[in-house]
Copies of this chain bind each other. A is one copy, B any other.
Amino acid sequence: MTFSSKLIEKAVEAFASLPGIGRKTALRLVLHMLKQDKAATDQFAGALTAMREGIRECRQCHNLSDDELCQICTDPRRDRTLVCVVENIRDLMAIEDTSQFRGLYHVLGGIISPIEGVGPSDLNIESLEIRAKQGEIREAIMAISPTIEGETTIFYISKKLQPLGVQVSAIARGVSFGGDLEYADELTLGRSIVTRTPYAGR
């Protein structure tokens, strides 16, 4: 693409540096901004820099936070005896969106992966132990993908938490609601038979 303006070229390059945005889309976004007020662009840029400047990690659960402790950790209505352990913030958000969990979280920041050189000390596992030692946590729910790395991580954490009197559980796995059996992967379908639940009847 040929630009007769260096300013536009730089703005297009800025957008195109983001994942999933090509140069054509970037140009469309830039031209959209040019159609709007200068104030709209200032507000847009301001929201991003303010976010990048102000955001920090919750001291307790490592969630993204505006303050020292995140909104979830400081919410008095949430069950402080229940902690859901997740790999990353995106998983936390997905669980929050279900509105089914009213406990607290602990964001590991990854999973144990010897191949990628990620060991327990690279993750927020020690801080989870410290939280557990404070005695408030009754149960830790592992909401971690059941890959080899995920299972390793769950095993490692459970060995740390169980001696502290914390019950470790994992989220239920099985065929999705509404999912066709024939399209379920073999592992999920096989496990769903092994870990079948009693029929509750009507």
Report which A residues bind B (CB closer than 8 A): 1-8, 10-11, 13-14, 17-21, 25, 27-34, 38, 41-55, 63-66, 70-72, 89-90, 93, 96-97
Contact = CB atoms under 8 A, between A and B. Distances in A.
A17 B14 CA distance: 17
Total copies of this chain within the assembly: 2
Given A2-B93, A2-B97, A20-B28, A34 B48 contact: no
B53 A38 contact: yes
B18 A34 contact: no
A2 B96 contact: yes
14 contacts: A4-B65, A5-B55, A5-B64, A7-B54, A8-B55, A11-B50, A19-B29, A19-B32, A20-B28, A27-B90, A27-B93, A34-B55, A41-B48, A42-B52
